[in-house]
Amino acid sequence: MHDHLTWAMIGVYEGEEREALFRRVDDGSNPKLARIQQVSERVNKKGHVTVLGHSDIHRVDSISLKPTTSVHIYGRDIGNAERHSYDPVTGEISRFVSGYCNVLRDNERF
């Protein structure tokens, strides 16, 4: 599970995703540990859009037999921003930068 530290809109274009939403139930005073509580879980099908706020935490799994495609829109450049992942068992918080590649690639070999 992870956060985005910005607003986000995620729309399912093809396939199905199972999405669980979580919230922190501790006071946030320990930057290395969090108590997380699941607040919902649903199956998102083609056409569904999830809207997340700055502090929302979620986990998404593709559950389709075919590839799942979704469109993600964020309120900032999350490819270069530090975010958090949360261990569901220990509550450990890890920092990460997801990165991205903005170079179009041609998969044909010449």
**Per-residue pLDDT tens over the stretch 68-92:** 999 999 999 988 899 999 999 999 9
How far apart CA 7 and CA 52 sit, in angstroms, is 5
Contact indicator for 25, 95 with CB cutoff of 8 Å = no
Contact indicator for 43, 2 with CB cutoff of 8 Å = no
Better-scored residue on pLDDT, 12 or 98: 12
- For residue 86, give the amino acid letter: Y
The tokens describing 83, both together, are 């975010």
Residue 101: pLDDT band by 50, 70, 90 thresholds? Answer: low
Whether the predicted pLDDT of 107 surpasses 90: no
How far apart CA 66 and CA 110 sit, in angstroms, is 30
**Per-residue pLDDT tens over the stretch 13-72:** 999 999 999 999 999 999 999 999 999 999 999 999 999 999 999 999 999 999 999 999
How far apart CA 42 and CA 63 sit, in angstroms, is 11
Q: Which domains does the chain have, with CATH numbers?
A: 2-97 (2.60.120.10)
